[in-house]
């Protein structure tokens, strides 16, 4: 079975294949071997498999593949107002990096913020790294926020949705290139099914239910 690849990966794949051809022509086995491994890595990084997402008006799906880095309650003033549950998902370079909508609703706002490039598993990343935040109002009228955050290696955030758009649970909304983090802010009354250290998959893993 052929796994689809996000179009953002094609330039890197072409570059890698060009390197393979060039080094093979020059009879430099180490060179074409490294170029070949680079091509395989890039193809795996930009993989975009089809997924059948669970549906539910209050069911909350993971927006990213990766590992739950932290779950904590804090005062959230940047994107929402008041106390919120913050869930941070760390995406290593080996995870699928396609981000998916956690719950159906409408995109109220999209905030892009330039910033630094701390390692994505560093707590400073949430506040100081380059990031793109989306505020979504669910069909039931609840507001949540999910934030794409660049990392040490990740230097480009891609977002395919805009403010005012209606989105469906499990739909693709963007990606972050080469290792990153996604933070999710929820009402404190949300009932979670996950814990710190759990591994999750975008559009498949149920994080919990909204009130």
- Tell me if 66 sits within 8 A of 91, measured CB to CB: yes
- Tell me if 181 sits within 8 A of 88, measured CB to CB: yes
What does the angle CA 2 – CA 49 – CA 57 come to, to the nearest 5 degrees? 150
Catalytic residue among 53, 62, 88, 180: 180
Question: In the numeric block, which tokens belong to residue 207?
Answer: 């994080």
**Closest by CA position to 46, among listed 175, 180, 189:** 175
Catalytic annotation on 180? yes
120-145 burial code (b ≥16 CB/10 A, e <16):
bbeeebbeebbbbbbbbebeeebbbb
Instruction: Give the catalytic positions in this structure.
Output: 180
């Amino acid at each position: 079975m052929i796994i689809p690849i996000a179009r953002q990966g094609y330039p890197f794949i072409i570059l890698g294949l060009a390197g393979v051809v060039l080094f093979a022509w020059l009879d430099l086995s180490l060179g074409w071997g490294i170029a070949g491994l680079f091509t395989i890595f890039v193809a795996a990084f930009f993989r975009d498999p089809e997924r059948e997402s669970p549906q539910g008006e209050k069911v909350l799906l993971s927006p990213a593949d990766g590992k739950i880095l932290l779950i904590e309650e804090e005062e959230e003033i940047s994107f929402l107002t008041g106390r919120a549950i913050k869930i941070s998902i760390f995406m290593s370079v080996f995870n699928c990096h396609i981000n998916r909508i956690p719950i159906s609703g409408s995109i109220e706002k999209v905030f892009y913020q330039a910033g630094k490039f701390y390692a994505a598993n560093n707590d400073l990343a949430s506040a100081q790294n380059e990031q793109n935040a989306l505020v979504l109002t669910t069909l039931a009228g609840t507001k949540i926020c999910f934030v794409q955050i660049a990392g040490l290696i990740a230097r480009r955030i891609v977002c395919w949705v805009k403010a005012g758009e209606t989105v469906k649970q499990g739909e693709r909304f963007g990606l972050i290139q080469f290792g990153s983090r996604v933070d999710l802010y929820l009402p404190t009354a949300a009932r979670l099914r996950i814990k710190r250290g759990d591994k999750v998959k975008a559009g498949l893993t149920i994080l919990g239910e909204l009130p």
